[in-house]
Amino acid sequence: MNDAETLWLTIDQGGHASRVIVYDPRGEPVATAAAPITTVRPGPDRVEHDGEEIVRSVRTTLDAVASTLGTDTRRVQAAGLATQRSSVIAWDRVSGTPLSPVLSWQDRRAAAWLAALPAHEPPIADTTGLVCSPHYGASKLRWLLDHVGSVQHAAAEGRLAFGPLASFLLHRLTRERPFLVDPANASRTLLCDWRTGTWASSLLTHFGIDPATLPQCVASRGDFGSLDHPDLGGVPVRVMTGDQSAAIFASGVPAPAQTLVNVGTGAFVQRLTQVPPDTAGGLLRSIVWRDDTVTHFALEGTVNGAGAAIDEVAAMVGVDPADAIRRLPAALDAATPPPLFLNGVGGLGSPYWRPDFTSRFIGEGATTERLAAVVESIAFLLAVNIGVIEATLGPTATLLVTGGGATLDGLLQRLADLTGRWVERPAEREATTRGLAFFLSQSRAWTASPVERFSPGSNPALHDRFARWQRELDAALADTGESESTPG
């Protein structure tokens, strides 16, 4: 088979759906399928998914793309897998049966336990590149060990496997049933040395995690087994990474000084670097890719409440989330200034790190104005994080914005106005799967998706609201105590 005939299959397992997209060597999609998954919120700080439902959803999408491709399934050269990095699950290593729900990256049930640990955050930050947050895997894995009987029994009998969702899916979707994890997913457990991509023995001891229960750390590209599927069986899985890690490479290796923003359930802003940043300024230092030839690091900011915040506020004001999304373009274009929204949905992320922060509106507004305020809060939080990245790594040349939230012109224009930078929106919005396909193909023929550009304007009213929002947030943080310490 010549290179022009080769196809690449990508699996993106997200918080709302599982998606499979097959790409040609230029990065053009030729087959697409998606299947929704259910999110369960059994408590205010608990967010779960069903592991078996996720496996079924991925298999359903594989069935659909295989049907679309027909005899062209033989052209599929390799597959790649990406998941939300901080979601974890426990399962039986022998049978593959889940022993727990998937605890979403949004889940913060172990926050109190984590806060009660001895104050070892500086070495944790230096080793992992992260802050000591309940969003990450270690405290969730510890919670499963302490509270779930089936997990305890499996541990006692030597059958326990747990860790990132990616490792579970790899185990269930391949013939060989490997027990592996890539650097990007491993790093979000709070148990991994971010510089080496290996488990840190001091942190395993600190959190009481037996290394035998965790998957083996391997490179991002390698032999991850072959798909267990009637029509795609034998297709080798060659790439495994995190969703945000893949999204950076949707258009190939980013241009120097380009900052990437991906807006979905949460919003993430990243600047790539091949040299580990010495300081973070309250952001995260992440390993996003490692293979035999190159290692990529990133300085990363996190906004926990993006699409999740829109959904939560829509429910609060009695609007269906889908209807809220339909209303947003007009709300963002309205002449009436929205109120301010201090956005702590899912916990206030970087650079503040307050998992217990309570969201609130400042000022009055109708339903549509409140929805606009939520979107504006996302822009404000992103602007703060972009400012920290620029203070650490230098000015941004352009902002490339992807994900479902990138459909909102009003959000992108606000980002341009707040940062004074050109904002680009690729025509191809599925950044994670396209990044996976780029890694699979390593193709020189890879073409960047055409972009729509938003030019920065002066917008003094927006800058005034941003300044007032910053003052209100600072006052709210002062009222409830200092923000958590951050890695230096």
Instruction: Read off the pLDDT of each residue in 122-126 and give the average, rounded to a whole number.
Output: 81
| 467-485 tens-digit pLDDT | 999 999 999 999 875 444 3
3-state secondary structure of 120: coil
Tell me what the mean pLDDT of segment 279-296 comes to. Answer: 90
φ/ψ of residue 25, rounded to 5: -65, -15
Degrees, nearest 5: CA angle 346-349-351:
170
**What count of residues does the chain have?**
488
Lowest mean pLDDT among 222-226, 276-280, 404-408: 276-280
Using CA atoms of 286, 263, 182, 157 in order, give the dihedral in degrees to the nearest 10.
110
- Check if the beta carbon of residue 243 is closer than 8 Å to that of residue 432: yes
Residue 273 has pLDDT above 50, yes or no: yes
Return d(Cα 197, Cα 216) in angstroms, integer: 11
% of the chain beyond a pLDDT of 70? 96
pLDDT of 25 strictly over 90: no
Confidence check: pLDDT of 3 > 80? no
* pLDDT at residue number 162: 96
* Domain spans in the chain, listed from the N-terminal domain onward: 3-244, 251-479
Rounded Cα gap, residues 87 and 163, in angstroms: 8
Q: Please check the confidence at residue 119 and state whether its pLDDT lies above 70.
A: no
Three-class secondary structure of residue 22 per DSSP: strand
pLDDT band (50, 70, 90) for residue 73: very high
One DSSP character per residue, 257-294 reads: TEEEEEESSSEEEEEEESS--S--TTSEEEEEEE-SS-
pLDDT for residue 312 is more than 60: yes
Rounded to the nearest 10°, the torsion over CA 179, 185, 188, 189 is 0
Homologous superfamily (CATH) of 251-479 is: ATPase, nucleotide binding domain (3.30.420.40)
Report the pLDDT value the prediction gives residue 2, as an integer from 0 to 100: 66
Q: How many Å apart are CA 294 and CA 222, to the nearest integer? A: 14
Residue 234 pLDDT more than 80?
yes
Q: Cα–Cα distance between 454 and 405 in angstroms, integer?
A: 15
**CB-CB contact of 416 with 390 (8 Å):** no
- Domains 3-244 and 251-479 agree in fold: yes
pLDDT of residue 485: 36
Would you report the helix, strand and coil content of the chain in percent, each value rounded to 5? 40, 25, 35
User: What is residue 195's predicted lDDT score, i.e. its pLDDT?
Assistant: 86
Alpha-carbon span 5 to 24, nearest angstrom:
8
> What is the three-class DSSP state of 482?
coil
Whether the CB-CB separation of 140 and 128 falls below 8 Å is answered with: no
**Per-residue tokens: 31:** 């087959």
pLDDT tens track for 327-383: 899 889 887 899 999 999 999 999 999 988 999 999 999 999 999 999 999 999 999
Handedness of CA 9, 325, 249, 378 (dihedral sign): negative
pLDDT, residue 47, reads: 95
Strands 237-242 and 340-342: unpaired
Residue with tokens 């890690």: 245
- Dist CA 153 CA 211 (whole Å): 17
CATH code: domain 3-244 is 3.30.420.40
Is-contact 251 448, C-beta < 8 A? yes
* Alpha helices (runs of H) in 31-164, residue ranges in sequence order: 51-69, 111-115, 121-128, 137-147, 149-156
pLDDT number for residue 438 = 94
Q: What is the pLDDT of residue 448?
A: 73
Cβ atoms 12, 243 nearer than 8 A: yes
The residue type found at 156 is A
Between 164 and 255, whose confidence is greater? 164
Residue with tokens 């550009």: 453
* pLDDT band (50, 70, 90) for residue 26: confident
Question: What are φ and ψ of residue 242, in 5° steps?
Answer: -90, 160
Alpha helical stretches, state H, 70-164:
111-115, 121-128, 137-147, 149-156
Q: List pLDDT tens digits, range 257-266.
A: 999 999 999 9
Instruction: Say which residues have a Cβ less than 8 Å from residue 230's Cβ, sequence separation at least 6.
Output: none
Please name the residue that has the structure tokens 């947003």. 328
Give the per-residue pLDDT at 481.
59
- Computed over every residue of the chain, the mean pLDDT equals 93
pLDDT at 280: 80
pTM: predicted TM-score of the whole model, two decimal places: 0.91
Question: Tens of pLDDT along 437-468?
Answer: 999 998 666 777 788 999 999 999 999 999 99
